[in-house]
Amino acid sequence: VALLGRSGSGKSTFLRALAALDLGAEGEVIVPERRSVVFQDARLLPWASVLDNVILGLDGDDAERAGRDALTEVGLDGHEDDWPKTLSGGEAQRAALARALVRSPDLLLLDEPFGALDALTRIRMHALVQQLCATHHPAVLLVTHDVDEAVLLADRVLVLTDGAFSLDVRVDVATPRLRSDPAFIALRSQLLAELGVDEATEGDHAT
């Protein structure tokens, strides 16, 4: 599920409530016990190795092996002993993904994890997330400002407007999803309109 909304609409607040990170939130949510979060920045501890960042908080003899396996899955084998400052932005986000997935979450919460990446790295990360989700089968909530990203990755898109869901739509676009597909274009236009974006004046992305 991709969650869209203008800045200040409550997207990150909703995600933090699902992750039990916002202790001031009121109400009730029903979520799996095993949850992991990947934030916009990787949030790696600079004084710990990449592997130690991935297995942070895990106990047991199998933690290191699981961490190494997770790093291999995200294409960072050989970087186990590196310091976070030596990683590129894309590599740091791969390490953050490994840290999330090594916990075998039933719910993976992604809070604009590609927002700070360049366009080519972002495309590679899209493919990696699709591959990892197909392997591990978590439920996923992706918070994003990017309408194209939502249509490319999600099975379902929600739009949050002033703290309430104003649109809930299935993504009925053929695979592989192409921006030139009429169904892609139609859904993109519907989502932009719901976000109050005039395509003629606002460019390619809703912000």
Q: Is the pLDDT of residue 104 over 70?
A: yes
Report pLDDT for 27: 87
How high does pLDDT run on average in the chain? 92
* Residue at 131: amino acid letter: Q
Phi, psi of 47 (to 5 degrees): -95, 0
Tokens of 108: 């993976």
Pairing of strands 35-38, 2-4: unpaired
The model's pTM is: 0.91
pLDDT per residue as tens digits for the range 166-196: 999 999 999 899 999 999 999 999 999 999 9
**Confidence tier at 201 by pLDDT (50, 70, 90):** low
Tokens of 48: 């710990």
SS3 of residue 111 by DSSP: strand
Q: Which residues contact 164 (CB under 8 A, 6 or more apart)?
A: none
Residue 42 CA to residue 45 CA, distance in Å, equals: 9
Q: Is the pLDDT of residue 200 over 70?
A: no
Pairing of strands 156-161, 164-170: antiparallel
Report pLDDT for 38: 96
Residue 194 CA to residue 47 CA, distance in Å, equals: 44
